[in-house]
């Protein structure tokens, strides 16, 4: 009886997967639907219920598996079957005419059929399917190898986890992951409400999202993808780029919204002009057009340079510019005290949005361009996103303009400033400057550091302005009564903040080291330091010479760390953090033997168990684990799809072993 029930459940699950995949394809790729959202959700819930009752029926390509999984430790590398080359750029129609002339000369004929498609401003990606199932996806990287971001790509609803049976089943395609304009605007609204920093532009938001180690976060971001190229089609007859579009359609993969064909320079110029008019209506940001020779035989005849194909080019549209007045210059103070000048402008509409400010980078840049308050300036968005002053209209000056003077004191606290000899940054010298305090605490609570949820920029700003906190240790003295003084914070929000603060006490000590904001110490360096010293107390007591013995720590970083731990203010903060109950010592790994004593290991590639488990195994037998290959490395443990670390090991003559060899060394 139960066997019959299981068979019926399996049949129903397969039927639901087929239906849900079909409707996903209609909605996310073809932009149409045949059923309501409620009907779709009902089918999805039914499938979830079947998989929950019969876990063996849960498949990796199930439509229920797009919510993201547990965080990973880091990205492995994938070697591209076909290198991902970059395109040459051109910025003028004259250069495009010259490009077409080179095609004519190279092929020996007047007519050369080309395709023209929008250049999506996103992140280049390669995706491989085998036997109808998604195998892996990777970023461009260095063109030869890229980061394996498969777990994050699986969360994108327009990426099929399984292909339709009527289309091709094994191939590798190239595409561009992007964040739709509407989705980007909504995401920034949500971040505003949560008190988190806004993303600067859709491309940065996309790149940052793809690099998340927690795919559950990725699943909540509005990523999409458009495919445009073919790297490998497993023997399929695909003779032209036009045929690639047909293959993508049969595979249920989203392709370019609009494509032109041109076989003369006149048609080519007409196409890029039409695209320039229509691209503002597209759902994603574009910064140009991509022109490719249609015939793959012609592409092979034309060949490539060491970096770029000769049969394709990217035509970049000139950034829109606008003329406006520079009304004032404000100075922002960063967590290290760096003073950054920001131009306040008469609002002007540019590239789809109203611009009222622009960064001026630093005071040397201001002096070099002779920028003055009251000037008429020409601004443009670098990459059509970030406002920048490109030209000062000095001929329009009337004598009322005022020179922008380097600050001699902090604009926030009034303290003196200094400029290091080898740096352009001017810094506030007051450690207790309110703006520095805000930025330091924002860094401490950030997701990559202590990950204290609910303490966004607005909340931290209020806490500092109300003098409720002045350093990270003060966070652990907060209570319900103090937090009730904050604006727009209800009981539930306060409870969640206190819970997040309490939970942060159990964070790994490397996160605390990173969160302390020591100059030049990033997350990876913090991990290396904790692996080497084992505790924050040992790190604090280390000399510069001791620090230099740590893998990946150089002279500048070692000096910065040493100085930080000898500042009395920092010592007091550390003492209070210890008293608050934060973790100062690396969780001990039970010693199993000393069989690997004196050896240093680097782990790379896909292995039979998570890297951290293997790293703990090596440590438990006396070995050390490093994040980079050097002459001090004893062994590189390499799994499948091992990346650049394997290449470096080969060059340095470092011994490369597999898991079986590790087991032999351990006598297992």
Active site residues: 119
Q: What's the rounded Cα separation, in Å, for the pair 91 and 95?
A: 7
**Phi, psi of 460, rounded to the nearest 5 degrees:** -60, -40
**In this structure, are residues 63 and 17 in contact, taking their beta carbons and an 8 Å threshold?**
yes
Question: In which element (H, E) is residue 134 found?
Answer: strand 133-139
Within 10 A of 243 (CB to CB), how many other CB atoms are there? 17
Write the DSSP assignment of 411-422 as a string of letters.
Answer: TTT--BEEE-TT
Residue 577's Cβ-count burial label (10 Å; 0-12, 13-18, 19+) is buried
Q: At what angle do helices 202-210 and 181-193 cross, to 10 degrees?
A: 80
Q: Where do the DSSP E strands lie in 374-496?
A: 376-382, 386-392, 402-403, 417-419, 426-428
Residue in the block written with tokens 């300036």: 377
Q: Where do the DSSP E strands lie in 189-311?
A: 224-232, 260-262, 286-293
Residue in the block written with tokens 């609002």: 347
Residue 542's Cβ-count burial label (10 Å; 0-12, 13-18, 19+) is buried
Within 10 A of 330 (CB to CB), how many other CB atoms are there? 12
**In this structure, are residues 547 and 553 in contact, taking their beta carbons and an 8 Å threshold?**
yes
Write out the two tokens for 451: 């990950």
**In this structure, are residues 528 and 519 in contact, taking their beta carbons and an 8 Å threshold?**
no
Q: How far is CA 251 from the centre of its chain?
A: 28
Write out the two tokens for 568: 């009395």
Q: What's the rounded Cα separation, in Å, for the pair 151 and 174?
A: 17
């Amino acid at each position: 009886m139960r066997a019959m029930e299981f068979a019926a459940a399996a049949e129903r699950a397969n039927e639901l997967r087929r239906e849900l995949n079909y409707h996903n394809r209609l909605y996310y790729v073809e932009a149409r639907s045949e059923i309501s959202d409620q009907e779709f959700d009902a089918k999805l819930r039914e499938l979830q219920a079947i998989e929950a009752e019969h876990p063996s029926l849960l498949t990796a390509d199930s439509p229920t598996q797009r919510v993201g999984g547990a965080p990973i430790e880091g990205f492995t590398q994938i070697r591209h079957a076909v290198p991902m080359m970059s395109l040459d750029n051109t910025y003028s129609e004259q250069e495009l005419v010259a490009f077409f002339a080179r095609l004519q000369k190279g092929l020996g004929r007047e007519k050369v059929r080309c395709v023209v498609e929008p250049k999506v401003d996103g992140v280049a990606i390669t995706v491989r399917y085998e036997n109808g199932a998604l195998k892996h996806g990777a970023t461009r990287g260095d063109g030869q190898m890229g980061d394996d971001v498969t777990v994050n790509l699986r969360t994108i609803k327009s990426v099929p986890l399984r292909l339709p049976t009527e289309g091709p089943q094994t191939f590798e395609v190239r595409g561009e992951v992007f964040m739709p304009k509407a989705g980007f605007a909504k995401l920034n609204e949500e971040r505003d409400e949560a008190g988190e920093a806004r993303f600067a532009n859709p491309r940065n938001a996309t790149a940052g999202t793809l690099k998340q180690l927690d795919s559950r976060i990725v699943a909540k971001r509005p990523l999409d993808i458009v495919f445009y190229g073919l790297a490998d089609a497993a023997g399929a007859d695909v003779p032209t780029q036009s045929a690639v579009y047909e293959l993508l359609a049969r595979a249920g993969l989203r392709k370019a919204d609009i494509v032109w064909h041109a076989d003369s320079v006149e048609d080519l110029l007409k196409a890029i002009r039409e695209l320039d008019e229509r691209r503002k209506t597209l759902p994603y940001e574009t910064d140009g057009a991509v022109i490719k020779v249609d015939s793959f035989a012609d592409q092979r005849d034309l060949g490539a340079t060491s970096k770029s194909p000769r049969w394709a080019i990217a035509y970049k549209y000139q950034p829109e510019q606008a003329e406006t007045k520079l009304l004032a210059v404000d100075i922002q103070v960063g967590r290290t005290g760096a003073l950054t000048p920001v131009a306040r402008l008469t609002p002007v509409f540019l590239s789809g949005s109203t611009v009222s400010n622009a960064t001026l980078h630093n005071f040397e840049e201001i002096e070099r361009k002779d920028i003055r308050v009251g000037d008429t300036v020409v601004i443009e968005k670098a990459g059509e996103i970030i406002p920048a002053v490109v030209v000062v209209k000095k001929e329009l000056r009337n004598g009322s303009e005022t020179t922008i003077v380097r600050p001699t004191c902090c604009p926030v606290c009034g303290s003196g400033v200094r400029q290091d000899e080898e740096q352009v940054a001017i810094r506030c010298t007051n450690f207790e400057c309110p703006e520095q305090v805000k930025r330091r605490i924002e860094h401490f609570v950030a997701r990559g550091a202590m990950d204290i949820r609910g303490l966004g920029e607005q909340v931290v700003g209020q806490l500092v302005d109300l003098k409720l906190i002045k350093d990270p240790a003060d966070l652990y003295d907060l209570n319900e009564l103090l937090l009730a003084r904050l604006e727009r914070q209800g009981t539930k929000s306060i409870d969640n903040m206190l819970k997040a603060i309490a939970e942060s006490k159990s964070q790994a000590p490397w996160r605390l080291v990173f969160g302390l904001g020591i100059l030049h110490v990033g997350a990876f360096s913090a991990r290396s330091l904790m692996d080497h010293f084992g505790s924050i107390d040992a790190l604090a007591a280390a000399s510069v010479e001791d620090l230099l013995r740590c893998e990946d720590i150089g002279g500048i970083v070692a000096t910065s760390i040493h100085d930080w731990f000898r500042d009395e203010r920092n010592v007091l903060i550390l003492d209070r953090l210890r008293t608050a109950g934060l973790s100062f010592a690396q969780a001990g790994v039970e010693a199993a033997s000393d069989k690997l004593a004196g050896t240093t290991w680097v782990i790379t590639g896909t292995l039979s168990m998570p890297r951290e488990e293997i790293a703990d195994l090596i440590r438990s037998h006396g070995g050390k684990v490093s994040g980079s290959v050097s002459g001090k490395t004893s062994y590189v443990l390499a799994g499948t799809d091992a990346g650049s670390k394997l290449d470096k090991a080969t060059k340095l003559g470092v011994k490369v072993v597999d898991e079986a060899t590790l087991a032999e060394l351990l006598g297992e």
